[in-house]
Every structure is written in C-alpha cells, then in structure tokens.
C-alpha cells in the first residue's frame, strides 16, 4: 500500500467534541473570556435555583413531616436556614389554578374539554397523522362541543362563566382569540388591499382604530360600556364581552401581519392566476394566500404569543385568569407572602405554552421551507 493512498483523518482539533468546543466556545480570546464568564455565572446561579426550587423546597410536607396548610408551616418560615420554595401553596390550590371556581361535581366536563383540545390540536400539529382528514373534522366541530361542555346546555347543567377561572379562562381566551382572529384577519387583510374603496376604507378604518387603542381600553369598553348600550333584558355574558374585545384586537393585528405576507407575493403570481382564468376567490385561496401565510408564520406566531400573554390583562375587568387566581391566593391570609412561588408557577405555565407555540412555528417553518425564495427573483 502506498502512503499517499491512505485516508487521513481530519485534525483532532476540528472534529468531535473538541472541535465543536474550539469553534463555538473558544474561537479566540474574547470568545473564550465570554464563555468562561457565562460558565461562572451559571455555576453561581444554577445550584442556587435548583436548591431553592427542588432540593430544599417543600412540596406537600415541611421538613418536620407535617402537611402544610398555611404559610406559617412552610419550612422557610419555620426556619429560614432550612427551606426553599414552598410549593405546597400550588399543591393545595392546584384545582383553583387549573379550573377556577368550577363546581367539583362538574369538573369532569372541563377535563374532557382539555383532552379534546389536545385531540383537536393533533391534526394541526402533525401533518403525517393517519386519518388526518377525520381528525380535522373533529377540530372544526370542537369549539361547539367545548361550548356545550363548559357552559352547559344539551342536558348539561349550566355553569356560569363567573365560576370559570385559572388556566381554563386563559386557554379559552387564548385559543378563541387566536382561532377566530385568523379568518377575520385574513378577510380584513384582503379587504384592505381590495380595489373597492368602501370595503378597503372600512377595513383600514377598523384596523387602524383597533390598533390605535390598547387592549386594556377595548377590554374596559367591552366590560363597562357595552352593557349600557345594549337594550334592556339582553344580558351579555362578561366572558363573552371580553372574548369579543380580545378577538377584535387580535384580528386587527393578524390582518396587518397577513397583509405583510400578501405584499411579499410577487405580482407575477397574481397575473399568472388571472391569466388561467381564476376568479378573485380562487386566486386568493389557491395561489396567493397559501404562499402569503407560509411566509407570515413567524409574525403570526409572534402576535399569537403576544395575545396569549396579554390575556392576563383581563384581571382589570375582574375576571380571574391564571394570574388572577395567583393574586387571589396571595390575598388569602393563609398564604400571605408566598409571591415568589406563585409568580414562579404562573410564569412557568405561561412559558410552557408560549415555548410550545414558538417550537411549533419553527417546526412549521422547517416543514414548509419558508426560507426558500418563491420565484421572487
């Protein structure tokens, strides 16, 4: 065998773990310095946070082995040296955080609704799901089922929305807002770009008006002023009024996001569709919108995440969402002073949902290859 023909391995320093470390963490001296500094910070922070949240924390019992029923029994209040977080407050109040004041005998309905929500999301999340078509049918009728399940009717006892709370309200507001705003937003975006002046002006007016107003104002308007203008005898549910406000708000933003996508579609696409004899609606549904929405995915998810977090503003109008229940708990004399635990828990729940949404958008972007150019050049 000739020396020359032997396959030579690449230098050790450019492959494997060492290579990765060299290229990503210790490329030059500033890079190395920053890496070391970050490692030092993590070293300082991570043990402390792990200790506080897990190792020294009380979950149900304090360090004496008693079940915790109020803040005085938390380890850290019995002995500040000995305790971390007091998660018992979440344990005791878990029901309220998840269901609000929903009656205990009826709570199976909420559980079924939660399970059905997961089922309804499946076909949206996984394109390769077997029998996806049938799952999608279920997704379309899910809102109707959920309405009767949660609210009552059709043989179910009525549960006034006043008793809803916690994660239930957060999810109802977030999901309804996002789901309804999407079609309305598309219509508004198309309307704003329409050549018919009345339609385009009305859509522009609506969008600009709603976007010019903070969500709080809309909530307040829906909650406080709306009932005064309704004729007597018509009693609109508080949660519905808030839902209307949230949906209007979200659709205005969604419309602008989708309009951005529409503007990125080269005129050649429109012209090609028209030259094939397509009508306005066929052109938009088959050619323009699929491309426009595809490139708008990151901002769509962005505004959706924004809305999901904005739902916490409903506390202003006296609806107790997840954060509201947390604040209510802090006002219970049994649990005074546990604000770290409660806010930590609430942020964790919000983080799980928003992080899930952002991961999903990344997955969608990869799947649809939104990065590639679509005949723009």
Partner 1 sequence: MGNFELNKSIIWINLLIWYREAIFEKRYLNNYLNGENNMKKLLSIFAVVAFAFSAHAGTLDDVKNRGFLKCGVTTGLAGFAAPDDSGEWAGLDADMCRAVAVAVFGDRSKVEFITTTGKSRFPTLASGEVDMLARNTTWTISRDVNLGFEFVGVNFYDGQGFMIPSALGVSSATELDGATVCIQTGTTTELNLADFFRLNGISYEALPIETNDEGKENLFAGRCDVYTTDASGLSSTRAAASDPDKWVVLPEIISKEPLGPLVRHGDHQWGDVVRWSLNAMIIAEELGITSENVDAQMSSNVPEVLRLLGVEGNYGEMLELSNDWAYQIIKQIGNYSESYEANVGPDTPLEIARGLNALWTQGGILYAPPFR
- Alpha-carbon distance of 320 to 332, in angstroms, equals 15
- The DSSP output letter for 25 is T
Q: How far is the CB of 339 from partner 1 (least distance, A)?
A: 6
- Alpha-carbon distance of 145 to 150, in angstroms, equals 9
- Cβ closest to partner 1, residue 53 vs residue 334: 334
If one asks whether residue 229 binds partner 1 (CB under 8 A), the answer comes out as yes
- Cβ closest to partner 1, residue 168 vs residue 287: 168
- Residue 64's SS3 state is coil
If one asks whether residue 238 binds partner 1 (CB under 8 A), the answer comes out as yes
Site for partner 1 in 69-98 (CB under 8 A): 69, 71-72, 76-77, 80, 92-93, 95-96
Task: Please provide the DSSP assignment of 202-267 as one string.
Answer: HHHHHHHHHHTS-HHHHHHIIIIIHHHHSPTT----HHHHHHHHHHHHHHHHHHHHHHHHHHHS-H
If one asks whether residue 144 binds partner 1 (CB under 8 A), the answer comes out as no
If one asks whether residue 153 binds partner 1 (CB under 8 A), the answer comes out as no
**Binding residue for partner 1, selected from 334, 354, 358, 370, defined by CB under 8 A:** 334
Site for partner 1 in 35-74 (CB under 8 A): 69, 71-72
Q: How far is the CB of 243 from partner 1 (least distance, A)?
A: 17
If one asks whether residue 333 binds partner 1 (CB under 8 A), the answer comes out as yes
CA distances from 13 to 27, 33, 75 (A): 11, 19, 51
| Tokens found for residue 138 | 């279920």
Closest CA to 218 of 253, 191, 186: 253
Residues that bind partner 1 (CB under 8 A): 69, 71-72, 76-77, 80, 92-93, 95-96, 100-101, 160, 162, 212-214, 216-217, 220, 223-225, 227-229, 232, 238, 315-320, 324-325, 327-334, 336-337, 339
């Amino acid at each position: 065998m000739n020396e020359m023909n032997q396959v030579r391995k690449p230098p050790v320093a450019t492959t494997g773990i060492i290579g990765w470390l060299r290229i990503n963490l210790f490329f030059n001296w500033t890079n190395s310095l920053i890496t070391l500094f970050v490692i030092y910070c993590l070293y300082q922070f991570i043990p402390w946070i792990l200790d506080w949240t897990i190792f020294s924390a009380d979950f149900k019992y304090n360090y004496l082995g008693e079940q915790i029923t109020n803040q005085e029994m938390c380890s850290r209040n019995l002995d500040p040296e000995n305790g971390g977080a007091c998660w018992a407050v979440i344990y005791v109040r878990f029901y309220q955080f998840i269901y609000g004041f929903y009656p205990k005998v009826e709570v199976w309905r909420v559980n079924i609704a939660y399970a059905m929500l997961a089922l309804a999301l499946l076909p949206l999340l996984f394109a390769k799901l077997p029998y996806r078509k049938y799952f999608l049918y279920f997704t379309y009728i899910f809102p109707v089922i959920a309405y009767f399940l949660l609210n009552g009717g059709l043989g179910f006892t009525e549960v006034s929305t006043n008793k809803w709370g916690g994660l239930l309200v957060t999810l109802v507001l977030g999901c309804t807002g996002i789901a309804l705003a999407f079609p309305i937003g598309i219509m508004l975006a198309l309307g704003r770009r329409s050549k018919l002046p009345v339609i385009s002006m009305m859509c522009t007016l609506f969008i600009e008006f709603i976007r010019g107003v903070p969500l709080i104002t809309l909530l307040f308007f829906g909650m406080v002023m709306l009932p005064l203008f309704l004729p007597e005898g018509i009693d609109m549910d508080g949660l519905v009024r808030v839902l209307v406000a949230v949906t209007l708000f979200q659709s205005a933003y969604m419309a602008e996001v989708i309009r951005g996508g529409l503007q990125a579609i080269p005129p050649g696409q429109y012209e090609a569709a028209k030259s094939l004899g397509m009508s306005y609606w066929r052109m938009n549904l088959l050619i323009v919108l699929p491309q426009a929405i595809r490139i708008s995915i990151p901002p769509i998810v962005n505004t959706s995440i924004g809305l999901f977090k904005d739902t916490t503003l409903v506390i202003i109008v006296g609806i107790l969402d997840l954060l509201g229940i947390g604040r209510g708990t802090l006002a219970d004399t049994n649990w005074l002073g546990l604000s770290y635990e409660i806010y930590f828990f609430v942020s964790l729940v919000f983080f799980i949902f928003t992080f899930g949404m952002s991961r999903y958008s990344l997955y969608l972007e990869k799947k649809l290859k939104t990065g590639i150019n679509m005949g723009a050049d």
